[in-house]
Structure 1
């Protein structure tokens, strides 16, 4: 049996998860990463994607997160999401609305750097949409 550690998934609206887990796969900006007990201290930004939580009892759960960051310590991990929802609660309209708002923001980008950041976020949202809501 794998060692467990404390994990919390927090959004501005609510605490979604708080408990003992054996692993968490998080959509870090530089790629997915698996966090397990005794992980080296790390802080990373989060891109839009799915966080998969494996609880100490073996049960798995998935949450859609839209940005934020994760603070990882050997004894625990806290994922502070800009927005998060259980994967069963996500609606096609939610992602479509975010994509449309991001496209509108892209039209008003004032610099190449700002435009690049928005285009990257838009690509991440589009990938998430295709992953969760296949055609």
Structure 2
């Protein structure tokens, strides 16, 4: 059994989880990373994706995050999400709305840099939709 450590997932609306966990998988912008106790200190940005939490007791929990950043220390990890919701509570209409807004952002982009960022965000949302919602 892995050594437990404190994990918190916070969105602007509320604290979603604050408990002792064995591990957390975070969708960092540079790739997915598994965080465990005594992890080297890191601060990373988070892309839209699924955060998988393995609590010390109880079943694995999954949360969808729409960006943010994670502060990782040897004794704990705090993920501050722009927006977050438990996978089981995902609102299909809300995700469809976010995808539509991202498509509009691609169309409305005024330069190549803005268009590239909007296209990347749209691709992340579309991948996320495929990963969490049944066909």
Q: Give the TM-score category using the shorter length.
A: over 0.9
Task: Verify: 1:3 aligned to 2:3, yes or no.
Answer: yes
Q: Which runs of 5+ in 2 are unaligned?
A: none
Report the Cα distance in structure 2 between the residues aligned to 1:99 and 1:38, rounded to whole angstroms. Answer: 37
Report what 2:125 is aligned to. 125
CA RMSD of aligned residues (A): 1.0
Report the Cα distance in structure 2 between the residues aligned to 1:50 and 1:63, rounded to whole angstroms. Answer: 5
Report the Cα distance in structure 2 between the residues aligned to 1:46 and 1:117, rounded to whole angstroms. Answer: 14
Report what 1:48 is aligned to. 48
Report the Cα distance in structure 1 between the residues aligned to 2:58 and 2:73, rounded to whole angstroms. Answer: 21
Find the residue that maps to 2:134 and give its secondary structure: coil
TM-score norm. by structure 2 comes to: 0.96
Q: Deviations over 1:79-105 (max 9, x none)?
A: 000000011100211111000011111
Runs (4+) of structure 1 exceeding 2 A deviation are none
Q: Which runs of 5+ in 1 are unaligned?
A: none
Report the Cα distance in structure 1 between the residues aligned to 2:34 and 2:46, rounded to whole angstroms. Answer: 13
The Cα shift of 1:73 comes to 0.4
Find the residue that maps to 1:121 and give its secondary structure: helix
Report what 2:73 is aligned to. 73
